[in-house]
Amino acid sequence: MRPPFIALLKPSQPRIPRACLLFPLAAVLMFCSGCDQEELIDHRYGRSFESSVNGTAVLVELFKQAGHSVHVRGVLRPELQRTAEVIVWIPDDFAPPNAQTQKWLDDWLAAQADRVLIYVGRDFDAEPSYWSAVKARKLSNDPSRVAQELSNAQSRVNGELSSQKLPESTPWYDKNAGTRAAASQPNRINGDWSVGVRAAGCELDLHSHLTTGYRLKPLLTVNGQSLVTKESITAKNWNTQTYSSESCRIVVNNGSFLLNFPLVNKEHRKLAAHLINEVNQTGSNRKVIFLESDYRGPTIHDTDSLDQRPNGWELFQVQPLGMILAHLALIGIMFCFVRWPIFGRPREPQRDSNLDFSKHLAALANLLRRTNNQEYARQRLAQYQAVCREKERSTPPPVVAPGTTGVPPVQ
C-alpha cells in the first residue's frame, strides 16, 4: 500500500524511497473497511507522517540517504545544544518564531562552528495542489467529489493564509506580500539553487516573499522574489576563544518544494538536493534534528530529563508508533466500556448455600482427582469408611421410653 499522492508520479520519474511509501496503520484499516481514496487525504502539516501531503517523511528519508543521522524531536533540551549539528524546523504556525525560541536557536548556532539551522515558513499547503492534480489527471471515478474536495481545501487554505499579518519584521527576515505568477506563465527562478533545475517544471507558490538585506544571501528567487535566503552566523571557537568560524541559518519562505506531495515533482527534488548539499558542505554523517511544533512553538526545557527517551505524549508523535498507540488506546477504551460498565438496573446475583453437603463431596473428589493417584484415593476412601464404622460401633444405641417402639408415627 502506498500514499495516494505517489500515484501522481510519472513512470519516467525516479521513485521516492520505499520507506516513504508505507501507509500508517490507520490508512490500511480504513482501506480494509471500504473507504474511498478521497477520504484518506491527510493534510497535517510539518510532521513526519508518510501519509500526509504536508508531511516531511520524504525529506527525512532524503537526508538519511545522504548519510546523515536523522532524529525527530518536539522539545528543545540542553542535550540538543551540545550534540545537534543540523536542525530542520518546519512549524505548523503562520506567525514568526517567538523571541524565546529565536534566542535558543541563535545561541545554539553561535555556540559552535559549522552548524546549520533550516527554518521553513508556514506559507503553503499542499492539499489544493493534490486535488488539482487528481482532477487534471482524472484519477478519480467521482469528478464531482474531487471538485468539492478541491473547493473545500482551497477555502480552508485561503482562510488560513489571509489570517497572516503582513508585513512581518523579525531578526531573521522581513516578510512582505508576494505576487503569484499567472497560471499560463511559468515561474522564473534564479540564484545558486537554480542550477540544473528546469523552471518550467517547477510549481512553486509565493503568497509572500522574504526581503533580503545586506546580511542575507538569496539562494533561490522566484519571479524576482526571495524564496530561500542564507545568513552566516559567527560562532565562537572555544579552543582559541575567537569568533572566526561560521554557522549558517537558511530561511525557506514555504514548503512548496519540500513537503511530501511537492516532492513528487522531479524538479522539486532537485531543489531539495541543493538544500541537502548546503548541509553536506559543513560535513558528512551529521546529526540532523527535525523539530516539530504547532502554533505554540516547541517546548524549551532548561535541563535534560532523567529519562532521555520521549515521554508518553511524545511517543504519539513518533510515526508509525503514534498511530499504533492511538489504535491500541481506542481498543482499550472500547474494552473497558464492554467489560465493566453495568447497563440497566443492577441485580443481586444468586449466592450458593454453604449447607449443601454434596458440594463438600464434590470438592473432596476434585482434590483427589488432582493427585492423579488412584491408589492413594482408594486408601483415603477406605480410611474414611473405617472411621465411620468405628464411630458406629462406639456410639451407644438410643434410649427408648417404656411403652414406645422408637419408631416415629406415620403422618
Using 50, 70 and 90 to split pLDDT, how confident is the model at 176? Answer: confident
- Whether 407 has a pLDDT exceeding 60, the answer reads no
Using 50, 70 and 90 to split pLDDT, how confident is the model at 353? Answer: confident
184-225 residue pLDDT tens: 566 789 999 999 999 989 988 888 877 766 678 899 999 888
Give the integer Cα–Cα distance in Å for 166 and 177: 6
Using 50, 70 and 90 to split pLDDT, how confident is the model at 272? Answer: very high
Q: Which of 53-67, 118-132, 157-171, 393-407 has the lowest mean pLDDT?
A: 393-407
- How many residues does the structure list for the chain? 411
Greater pLDDT, 32 or 57: 57
Give the integer Cα–Cα distance in Å for 377 and 368: 6
Closest CA to 87 of 67, 107, 66, 108: 108
Mean pLDDT, to the nearest integer, of 18-22?
Answer: 41
Q: What are phi and psi of 374, to 5 degrees?
A: -65, -40
Cβ pair 251, 121 in contact under 8 A: yes
Query: Is 4-304 a CATH 1.25.40 domain?
Result: no
Using a pLDDT cut of 90, give the percent of the chain over it.
35
Q: What is the pLDDT of residue 276?
A: 95
Mean pLDDT, to the nearest integer, of 275-289?
Answer: 90
CA 378 to chain CA mean position, Å: 67
DSSP 2-15: --GGGGG--TTSPP
Using 50, 70 and 90 to split pLDDT, how confident is the model at 54? Answer: very high
Max CA pair span of the chain:
135
- Helix (H) or strand (E) holding 385, with range, is helix 374-394
- Whether 23 has a pLDDT exceeding 90, the answer reads no
Residue bearing cell 487525504: 41
- Whether 13 has a pLDDT exceeding 50, the answer reads no
- Whether 2 has a pLDDT exceeding 60, the answer reads no
Which sequence spans correspond to the domains of the chain?
Answer: 4-304
Q: What is the pLDDT of residue 187?
A: 77
Greater pLDDT, 376 or 164: 376
What pTM does this model have?
0.67
Tell me how crowded residue 265 is: count the other CB atoms within 10 A of its CB.
23
Cβ pair 258, 272 in contact under 8 A: yes
Tell me how crowded residue 186 is: count the other CB atoms within 10 A of its CB.
16
Give the integer Cα–Cα distance in Å for 395 and 279: 103
Q: Which residue spans within 49-158 are E strands per DSSP?
A: 69-73, 75-76, 86-89, 116-120
Q: What is the pLDDT of residue 351?
A: 75
Give the integer Cα–Cα distance in Å for 122 and 256: 10
- Whether 310 has a pLDDT exceeding 80, the answer reads no
Using 50, 70 and 90 to split pLDDT, how confident is the model at 178? Answer: confident
- Whether 132 has a pLDDT exceeding 80, the answer reads yes
Print burial letters for 313-325: b (CB count within 10 Å at least 16), e (below 16). ebebbbbbebbee
Q: Is the dihedral of CA 335, 339, 344, 345 positive or negative?
A: negative
Closest CA to 152 of 140, 144, 164, 162: 144
Q: What is the pLDDT of residue 55?
A: 93
